[in-house]
Every structure is written in C-alpha cells, then in structure tokens.
Amino acid sequence: MTDQDGPPTDVQLRPAGEVPRLGDFIDLPKLQAMQDLFAQLTGACVLVRDSQGEAVTHVSNHNRMCQLLFRSENGWEKCRRGSQALAGAAAQGRGLVARRCPGGVPQLAVPIQSDGQQLGSIVVGYLTPEQMEPEGRAELAKSLEVTPAELEACLGDVRPMPEPRLRQAAELLGLMANSLAELCMRGMEVSQTVRQLATLFDVSQLLSSARQLDEVLALSTEALTKALDLKACSIRLLDDETGELAVRASYNLSERYLKKGPVTARESPLDLEAMTGKVVQVPDVSTDERFLYRQAMLEEGIKSMFYVGLMSRGEPLGSLRLYSGVVRRLDASEERLFMAVANQVAAAIENARLYQEALEKDRLEYELSLASSIQEQLLPREQPEVPGYDIFGLSVPCELIGGDFYDFIPAPSGRLGLTIADGAGKGVPGALLMAIAHTALHVHTEHITSPREILARTNSQLCARSRPGQFVTLFYGLLNPLTATFIYANAGHNAPLLLREGRWQALEADGIILGVDEDAHFEQREVTLEEGDLLVLYTDGVTEALNTAEQLFGVERLKAVLTANAARSCEEIAHTVVRAVGDFASGRPQHDDITLVLLKVVSE
C-alpha cells in the first residue's frame, strides 16, 4: 500500500462542475491524525484514497512487511496498483471489498459515500492469525520471494488481526467513512453557497461601478467565465430592426472566431430558445446539427455551449453564451447562478439604456427589490421558545433595503446563539455583504461554540470580500438555558444593556468592526443571568433617531422606556420602544433601521 504522490497540504476548491474529492473539503492534518490513531490501535496499515484512486493521506503503520515486497523489481508498483484497484472497487459501490495484495497480505477497503455519490475509500492491510502459523509463514515467505529467516525478522513488530477484531475494525471504518462523507458533502454545499453568493457579490460590484454599457458587458463576461471555470463567454445583443445578434462583449475568444460570420435570431434556434427565458445546454457541440459555424467552434477548441436569454420586462435583449473546452453539463446550482447573473446583466443593459434616456430611477428600483429579497432571508421566520426565557426580536427598515439583521441560531447541547448586526454599504453590494456575513456566521456556529472564534472566522471571510467603506458591526452571544450563562463577543457593535433589579449595566467587550482587519482579535466575556433580568440588544437606529430639533433619542431615553415597561412581555416592550422612537421623531422620516432583540429571564 503506497502513497507515491502524498497528500495535498491545503484544502482546495475544485473547479465548478467537477466531481468533488475528499481532499477538497477535509482537514487533511486531522484526517491523517485520525488515520494514524486507528492504525496504532489495530496494528493495521491504513491509507485513504479519493474517488479517482489518488492518495489523500500518507500510509499509517508502513511496516517492514511492505518493505519486503518493495525489494522486488516491480513489487512497489504492483502494490500501488493493487491498492488503487481495491480502492476503486470499493468506491464503485460494491461495499466492503477484501482481497490479497501482490505480496499475499490481506487488504480490505471500505467505501466513503454520501447521497449515492462515491467520494473515495479507506484501504487497510493486515495479517491474519493463520499467516502467523508455521504453514502460513512458509506460504507468505514464498509469495514475498524471501527466505523464512528474513520473513521471521519482520514479523516481530506486526500484530495479527483475528476475525472478531476485524469485524469491529470494519464497523469503525464504516462510521469513519460516513463521518468523512458527511463532512465532505457539507463542505461542498457550504462552499457552493458561499461561491455563488460571492460571485453575485462580485458581479454586482462590477455592474454597480461601471458607467458605460460596453464596460458593463466586458466585465460581466470575464467574471462569469472565471466563476464557473469555463473557457470563454460572449454577449450578443439583438437588433430589433435587422434581427441580427451582434457580439457586444466577449472574453477569451479569438478574433478569427468572433469574425466567423453574422448570426441572426431567425437562423439560430438555440438563441431563440434561450430568449424564451430558459437555460439551453449543448453538452457536445460535435454531435449537434443546429450550429451555423460548427467547424469554427471545433477549431476554437469549444466542446460544450450554454445559452441563456437576456430578458427585460418579458422582452429579449439578446443572449449570454458560455463556452467549455471539455464536454460537460451545468448542474442545477450552476444553472441558477448562470440565470441570476444573466438577470443582472440584462438589468444592467436596460439600466444603461434608461440612464441614457434619464430613467435612472428604474435601475435603482431593481437594485432595491433584489437587495430587499436577499435581506428578507436573513431575518428569522419565528421567535424561539426556550423554557424559562421570554425572547423576541424585530427589525423595522427605514427603506426598502435594510442594513441590519438579527437571528437566533441553535447551537450544540441545547444552547442558543443571539446575534444582531448593522452593515455599512447600500444597494445590492451591501445586501450581499450582509448575506455573506449571515451565511458565514451560521456555518461556523455549527461546529464552534466560542463567540470570539466565530467572530474571528467570520471576519476573515468578510475581509476577503469587502471593499473600502464596507464593514459590519456584529454582536454574538451564546445562551446556556440550563445554567443561565451568557458568553459573548462584540465586533464594534453597540454594547447590549442589562437591567437587573432596577439598575443598568452595559455588556462591554473589546472588538473592532468586521471586514477591515484580517488579524483582528475579539474579547470574550461571560455573565450569569438571574430571574427578572432584561437583556436588550439594539442597533444605532434606535439611539441615533433625530427629532425636528436635531436631538438624538439617545441611550438614556431608551433606558427610561425599557425601565417603565420592564414588567411587560418582550414583544410588548419591543413595539413600545419603536412607538416611542416614532413619537420622539415628531414626524421626521426614519433615517436608519431600527432593530431590537430582547431576552427576559422568567419563572418557568
């Protein structure tokens, strides 16, 4: 059992559309440590291979028995091929597979799979008690082409694995395989979601920053090509008078190909189909008769093509085309991303035209609607029910797009995470930045319980995506309902207020805003809540509300309202605060979002 290439040292995302591999998503040092411990406990030789048969770990317990095999001229290569073949048989869905290696040593492989997808296998080499008997030793020495004395010298540090132990090991391997598969598929889903959000974020940044139509189209073709790891992209716009689909932008296509000849909607059934509002896929252009210039496509190295119509208000503007240098199909999530980007591109084209006609208002309404639909998904759909606690949250945006969010995140062991955030940056880029923060927070809270570590990891992802002037303030606390302990960390947000027996205290914790300093550190503190305590999380839309005299509502007015209504339910208190802010403003329009999260300790 060999590991000729060795495992990669870092987790790498594979290009979109390729089959996921274990090494793409698993923490390889931890996997290696788990494999080494298993080998130590069982005395077996262990290696993990991916679905293509490539080693993703180093061999654990590389004993002298293997070294005997490698002495022969082709023994090393035979062992490598045998291990790969065994791993491949297990990965093809045959279940636990057992056979002897070229040296006569038994091996077994357990498949790693999830949702019907084969991800790899765990390969184990071991010795049976029969091989340790005199007859078995003689047969083993013969298969290894060594003398009995040489074999005897190598058997001293090898423990045989009896049948009952083998069954237990196989069960453990099965549990390991299931855990690895679940981690792999979860990592794939998370990375896919983050990648799609990040792509939409990047494209929206490009579209929002570009002023001229040609610049918008050129930036879009490059961004989409790289996001889906394809060969090239082009945009053709429809001339309503002539019906010609003229190239207005392209990325990574030769001039010879672009000038191959005219294309009209009437002569291009694939473009016509796409301009009905659907994604059209041609996995293999060499076998499709619907192309006008198929030979030119083959000479350009194009193997697959994908079309989506650019639509505005139900009318076609043209088509967006993607080109692949290998035969492939887009999966469902890639189709959605393709369509989403096409919608943004179509909107940008229409907006550019409207801009030229002084109709900028329509473009802004589109962006507001898109960002609002994104941010609606950030707020919880229901309030949590925790025995012994009254918890309630609400957010009142000042415009169609809100810059705040709050959430209640279930955590391991029955704990509950409470978070509130306020983001800088408006429009689609601001909304998507908050969406990335929201997604990252949920991902990290699934496996991490330390608030400061959660903020640190969320900060790293935002630093990689935020632009100058974009940042997020965020408070995260973890409630243990059984012990009433509340552990928290703060990233530049307003310190929550705690009312206890008529006295107020602020839950301070040092930490800067998210998205500006990748090396930022966050302080973590803890408080034990008592019956009757009222904890209030809020955004500055509450305290910085202005009246007609340019006065701030302020923290003291907030405390006064809360104190006067502390005996009421959290829901009643929250709505009372919102009304008090509105009354204070005396008709002055709300200039910032108002978001509140209240928690009260009550008797069960």
Q: 447 pLDDT exceeds 70?
A: yes
| Structure tokens, 324 | 């692949």
Q: Check: CB of residue 435 under 8 Å from CB of residue 374.
A: yes
**Residue with the larger pLDDT of the pair 10 and 479:** 479
Q: 56 pLDDT exceeds 90?
A: no
> Model confidence over 311-333: pLDDT tens digits?
888 889 999 999 999 999 888 87
- How far is it, in rounded angstroms, from Cα 406 to Cα 412? 20
By residue count, the chain amounts to 604
**Residue with the larger pLDDT of the pair 588 and 528:** 528
Q: What is the pLDDT of residue 7?
A: 36
| Structure tokens, 245 | 């689909």
Strands (E) located in 462-533: 471-480, 485-491, 497-500, 503-506, 524-528
Mean pLDDT of 149-173: 67
Residue linked to tokens 């632009």: 467
210-358: in CATH 2.40.10.10: no
Annotate 243-282 with DSSP letters as a single string: -BEEEEEEES--HHHHTS---BGGG-HHHHHHTTT-EEEE
Most trustworthy range by pLDDT among 283-292, 370-379, 510-519, 585-594: 510-519
- How far is it, in rounded angstroms, from Cα 223 to Cα 228? 9
pLDDT band at 500; cut points 50, 70, 90 = very high
- How far is it, in rounded angstroms, from Cα 464 to Cα 194? 12
pLDDT band at 45; cut points 50, 70, 90 = confident
22-189 and 210-358 in the same fold:
yes
CA atoms within 13 A on the CB side of 476: 34
Q: What percent of the chain has pLDDT over 70?
A: 72
> Model confidence over 404-437: pLDDT tens digits?
889 999 998 899 999 999 987 666 666 777 888 8
Q: 227 pLDDT exceeds 50?
A: yes
Q: 257 pLDDT exceeds 70?
A: yes
Most trustworthy range by pLDDT among 25-34, 170-179, 523-532: 523-532
DSSP 3-state percent helix, strand, coil across the chain (nearest 5): 45, 25, 35
Tell me the domain boundaries of the chain: 22-189, 210-358, 379-601
Q: What is the pLDDT of residue 193?
A: 66
Q: 557 pLDDT exceeds 60?
A: yes
Q: Which CATH number fits domain 22-189: 3.30.420, 3.30.700, 3.30.450, 1.25.40?
A: 3.30.450
**Angle in degrees, CA 150, 152, 154, rounded to 5:** 75
Residues forming a β-bridge with 601: 389
Q: What is the pLDDT of residue 353?
A: 72
Q: How many helices, marked H, and strands, marked E, lie in the chain? A: 19, 19
Q: What is the pLDDT of residue 4?
A: 45
Work out the burial of residue 98: count CB atoms within 10 Å of its CB; fewer than 13 is exposed, 13-18 middle, 19 or more buried.
Answer: middle
Helix (H) or strand (E) holding 539: none
| Structure tokens, 465 | 């995506």
The mean-pLDDT minimum among 65-79, 220-234, 449-463, 507-521 falls in 65-79
3-class DSSP assignment, residue 550: coil
Q: What is the pLDDT of residue 556?
A: 96
331 closest CA partner among 301, 297, 306, 294: 306
- The CATH code of the domain at 379-601 is 3.60.40.10
Q: What is the pLDDT of residue 300?
A: 94
pLDDT band at 344; cut points 50, 70, 90 = confident
This prediction has a pTM of 0.45
Per-chain mean pLDDT for the chain: 81
Q: 3 pLDDT exceeds 60?
A: no
**Cα 230 to Cα 124, 227, 306, 329, 502, distances in angstroms:** 38, 8, 11, 11, 63
The mean-pLDDT minimum among 388-402, 455-469, 570-584 falls in 388-402
Q: What is the pLDDT of residue 593?
A: 86
Burial string for 326-353 (b: 16+ CB within 10 Å, else e) reads: eebebeeebbebbbbbbbbbbbbbbbbe
Most trustworthy range by pLDDT among 81-90, 196-205, 493-502: 493-502
Neighbouring CB atoms inside 10 A of 501's CB total 7
Q: What percent of the chain has pLDDT over 90?
A: 36
> Model confidence over 561-583: pLDDT tens digits?
999 999 999 999 999 999 999 99
**Residue with the larger pLDDT of the pair 565 and 355:** 565
Q: 523 pLDDT exceeds 90?
A: yes
Cβ partners under 8 Å of residue 209, min gap 6: none
Strands (E) located in 332-433: 389-396, 404-410, 416-424
Longest pairwise C-alpha distance within the chain:
101
Q: What is the pLDDT of residue 12?
A: 36
**Phi/psi of residue 484, each to 5°?**
65, 20
Most trustworthy range by pLDDT among 161-175, 413-427, 537-551: 537-551
Mean pLDDT of 548-554: 92
Mean pLDDT of 584-590: 85
Annotate 198-223 with DSSP letters as a single string: HHHHHHHHHHHH--SHHHHHHHHHHH
**Residue with the larger pLDDT of the pair 251 and 86:** 251
- How far is it, in rounded angstroms, from Cα 372 to Cα 571? 24
Q: What is the pLDDT of residue 404?
A: 85
Q: Which long-range contacts (CB under 8 A, 24 or more apart) does 268-276 make?
A: 268/292, 270/305, 270/307, 271/236, 271/245, 271/307, 271/309, 271/319, 273/307, 274/307, 274/308, 274/309, 274/319, 275/238, 275/309, 275/310, 275/311, 275/316, 275/318, 275/319, 276/309
Most trustworthy range by pLDDT among 138-147, 155-164, 290-299: 290-299
